Structure 1
Amino acid sequence: MALLATSQITIVDLNDAVSLQSYLTGNVPKVQFVTNNGMYTPDYTNSPATITAELYRLGSSDNLITNNSRYVTKIEWFYKISPAVEWTKIGTDDVRFTLGGTSPKFHSVSINQNLMTLENPGIAIKCEMTYKEDWMPEPHIQKSEMDLSLTVQGDDGTDAYTALLTNANHTIICSSEGAPEPGELGEDGRAQSDVLVYKGSKLLTAVANTVQPRAGQFHYKILSSTGCSAARKDNDTFYISNLTTRQKSAGANGANVTIEI
């Protein structure tokens, strides 16, 4: 008797459908601090938190939003302040926010006030990008979200140290062959992150990793990297110089960098 084995192979033609990747990037850390006397760091009233939308087709490094693609027909922004569960659309008449660009394609939103409090310690921002090519019977709505949170300094005890990465989870855009697109890697590429360290609400100063930090200072070292090569750009920034894995997912199957502060 013959032993038969069967299996199934799924073939997908990427030309039959459009695969999109979207991101929201910010100009400030995702954690805001407030002291006992009500001082915010960073203070959005003096330095608004600006969140910018990016939209790419799979295998391309061209930002469809900055390139003003005709296929992107509308961009809308929404927010919800914890503990709210419903999204509220951001309009041009809301003085707490400033929409960047022109209607109906607002490419960014700025938060002009310190909206988070002890009772409402979080705010979520959502962007909905409407995309439609000529052959598509219905438009596609691409959604991306960003969460911001508030840390309140306690009344007693020693200030806590908080370390943040401005680009903690980055998706490297690659071609269909798995090669990183131009502008992704290297010292001036998108795959880089600033290292921020706070003591309480005070931002510490980054120094070279060859010197011993004094009061109010810190330094970082790159301990290891998996699936990639990382290098220091300066005292508070590192970047990905080379990608050695072809895995598409992050985490254990992707690439990661471990730093010591």
Structure 2
Amino acid sequence: MAVISRGQITIVDLSDGKSINLYLGSNVALTQIYNKENSTYSPNWSASPFLVITPEVYVTGTPTNQISRLKRPPTWKINGSANLATYGATAATAAPYALTIKNNMGSYAQMHVECEVTYVDPDTTAETKAKTSISYAKTENAGQLVCAIAYAPNGTVFKNGAAAKLTAHCDMWRGSTIDSTNVSYKWYKLGSGVWTEITSANAGGVTGYTTNEITIPESAVLNFESFKCEIKDTDPSSGTYNTTVSDIISFADMSDPYQVEITTPQGTTLTSGLTQTTLTTQVWQNGALLSDTFFTGATCRWRKFDKNGVLDTTWGSAGVKTGRSITVTRSEVSVAATFTVEIEK
């Protein structure tokens, strides 16, 4: 059986409403190169199409971007400042509320962009705040120095089946120029904290893993996955011969055909009056709650992580409990604990 979806819940979390996911999309790579030789930037944010950061809002049980449900335009900060003009930035006041930046990074080496939104539930009119951020880094390149920059030409989010495949592209930059002569490429995928090289034996539908661009099917991204590209200079006449550089890029599946929800009728806070609570797995597909028959032939595997995020290998059987529902007692929670569930079918 294969894992088809994942979910998690933290006991002592006081909110048990809909899950709001705020995502920031960038039209350029997250690294800007400054070439000291000719004082140029790549990519150059001061020329069209500039740097454009676009927020997207996804809500449990709804497969489409809910950016139109915001109470007001997002609140933006750059490097902790609300004075966007300092960075040549302007924020749109109508959906999709993009932030456009027309200044290059100049004297600062990093740019941290924060976005906060208030989502209004169309059914209950309840308001929920969500906040996220995206960071950019400036790399100074003196000609012979090389670096790798990865980006996603068509974005990093699978949205509501709009694209069955997305691509990740990575280049070796020498100064402000791409060097694609006498270089080799290797791609890796992160799993259980370990980078594994993608080969024909484990590609899972990913293609192009020996080139500067891989094609990733939606089936290869379970909720959130990270990929790394390593580029090696193989030119014996080069001053950086045998040098290897790398960059990492991540993809999210916001339109996963199966979305896991963990319900807790008794609540997520254990007290002297509430000594146990029951966690039950529910699965949504295309905005509809699936019936109990979905779980026929499926296996739900639960794991527990302590307050520090460490897996409890003594819990259950070798750190795993199975079943659509499990009961958590006070003795199993020290301050806080996070429970994850994987559904195999």
Fold in common (TM above 0.5): yes
Which of 77, 84, 93 is matched with 1:79 structurally? 77
Residues 1:130 and 2:118 aligned together = yes
Are positions 1:182 and 2:161 aligned together?
yes
CA contact (8 A) 1:75 1:127 kept: no
Deviations 1:195-231 (A, max 9, x none): 23211222335xxxxxxx35xxx56355417694312
| 1:162 corresponds to | 147
CA distance in structure 1 between the partners assigned to 2:58 and 2:132 by the alignment: 12
Task: Write the distance in 1 (CA, Å) between the matches of 2:44 and 2:174.
Answer: 16
Amino acid at match of 2:30: K
Amino acid at match of 1:96: G
Partner residue of 2:140 out of 136, 152, 163: 152
Query: Residue 195 in 1 paired to residue 170 in 2?
Result: yes
Please report how far the alpha carbon of residue 99 of structure 1 lies from its aligned counterpart in structure 2 after TM superposition.
2.6
TM-score normalised by structure 2 residue count: 0.49
| Contact kept in structure 1, 2:87 and 2:102, CA below 8 Å | yes
More strand by share: 2
Kindly state the Cα deviation for residue 77 of structure 1 after the two structures are TM-superposed.
4.2
Q: Which residue of 2 aligns with 1:38?
A: 39
CA deviations 1:92-120 (Å, max 9, x no partner) are x77812333x35x5621111111432xx2
TM-score normalised by structure 1 residue count:
0.63
User: Are 2:111 and 2:136, in contact at CA under 8 Å, matched by a contact in 1?
Assistant: yes
Residue 63 of structure 1 corresponds to: 65
Higher relative contact order (CA 8 A, sep 6+): 2
Q: Does 1:54 align with 2:47?
A: no
- Residues 196 and 52 (structure 1 numbering): CA distance in 2 closer, same or farther, change over 3 Å? farther
Equivalents in 2 of 1:57, 1:163: separation in Å?
Answer: 35
RMSD: 3.7
Deviating above 4 A after TM superposition, structure 1's stretches of 4 or more consecutive aligned residues are 134-138, 169-173, 225-228, 233-236, 255-260
SS across alignment from 1:74: coil
Any conservation in 1 of the 2:54–2:96 contact (CA below 8 Å)?
no
Q: CA deviation at 1:153?
A: 2.7
3-state SS in 2 of match to 1:243: helix
Flag the 1:95–1:41 CA change in 2: closer, same or farther, 3 A.
closer
| Cα displacement (A) at 1:49 | 0.9
Greater Rg, structure 1 or structure 2?
2
Percent of aligned positions that are identical: 20
Matched residue, 2:82:
88
| Contact 1:23 1:144 survives alignment (8 Å) | yes
Query: Any unmatched runs of 5+ in structure 1?
Result: 1-8, 174-180, 206-212
Gaps of 5+ in 2: 1-8, 188-196, 232-345
